[in-house]
Amino acid sequence: MTILALVFCIGAGLYFANGKPIAAGILLMIGGFFDILDGAVARENGRVTVFGGVLDSVSDRYADAAVFIGIMWGGYSAILPYIENDWVVSAVALVGSLLVSYSRARAEAAGTGKLAIGVAERAERMILIILGAFTGLLNWAVLIVAVISHLTVLQRMIATYRILQKR
């Protein structure tokens, strides 16, 4: 199911790139459903593995990249008139999305314990993109994702610093 979720998200990226945001939003919803379902099914059947968690996390990063690259390609992040290249906001959102996950993984590896801090987990980011796709406000959704992703990274860095200073 993890791979199926990834396939749907890649499809969403392709639809964004080809100017079909509604179809992309639908595929993104389906991909999100399978992403939620895969972990639940593994837990229900007692088949949770460390590799499964790693595969899920890596697949999510590829899915994020596919979606934001599709948005960039489709030109849906043009929002600020003084930015000549309309892909910049999507690139900032993509980097923020990747760093949200990386900052958590790196902090936990450094010994913080589970670090579930921040306003922009993956589900929240994808919900914003889906809503933007359905409402015609995708450019604003991408801008919001760009801002809250980096805010989440900042929140995690502050929390990590505080936790590690106590050691």
Q: Where are the domains of the chain?
A: 2-165
> What is the rounded average pLDDT for all residues in the chain?
94
Residue 36 vs residues 30, 31, 60: alpha-carbon distances, Å: 10, 9, 11
Q: Is 20 exposed, middle or buried (0-12, 13-18, 19+ CB in 10 A)?
A: middle
User: pLDDT-based confidence at 132, cuts 50/70/90?
Assistant: very high
Residue 167: the pLDDT is 83
Over range 117-127, report the average pLDDT: 94
User: pLDDT-based confidence at 23, cuts 50/70/90?
Assistant: very high
Alpha-carbon dihedral 85, 90, 95, 100, rounded to 10 degrees: 160
User: pLDDT-based confidence at 30, cuts 50/70/90?
Assistant: very high
**86 catalytically annotated:** no
User: pLDDT-based confidence at 84, cuts 50/70/90?
Assistant: low
CA distance 93 to 67: 11
Query: Please, are residues 8 and 34 in contact by the beta-carbon 8 Å criterion?
Result: yes
Instruction: Name the percent of the chain lying above pLDDT 90.
Output: 81
User: pLDDT-based confidence at 106, cuts 50/70/90?
Assistant: very high
Backbone region of residue 77 per phi and psi (left: phi > 0; alpha: psi in -120 to 50; beta: other values) = alpha
CATH (residue range 2-165): 1.20.120.1760
CA distance 142 to 94: 9
**For residue 87, is pLDDT > 90?**
no
CA distance 167 to 1: 40
**For residue 78, is pLDDT > 90?**
no
Residue 148: the pLDDT is 98
Residue 116: the pLDDT is 87
Task: Determine which one of 38, 60, 64, 86 is catalytic.
Answer: 60
**For residue 83, is pLDDT > 80?**
no
**For residue 82, is pLDDT > 80?**
no
Q: DSSP for the chain, please give it.
A: -HHHHHHHHHHHHHHHHTT-HHHHHHHHHHHHHHHHHHHHHHHHTT---HHHHHHHHHHHHHHHHHHHHHHHHHTTT---TT-SSTTHHHHHHHHHHHHHHHHHHHHHHTT-------S--HHHHHHHHHHHHHHT-HHHHHHHHHHHHHHHHHHHHHHHHHHHHT-
Residue 38: the pLDDT is 87
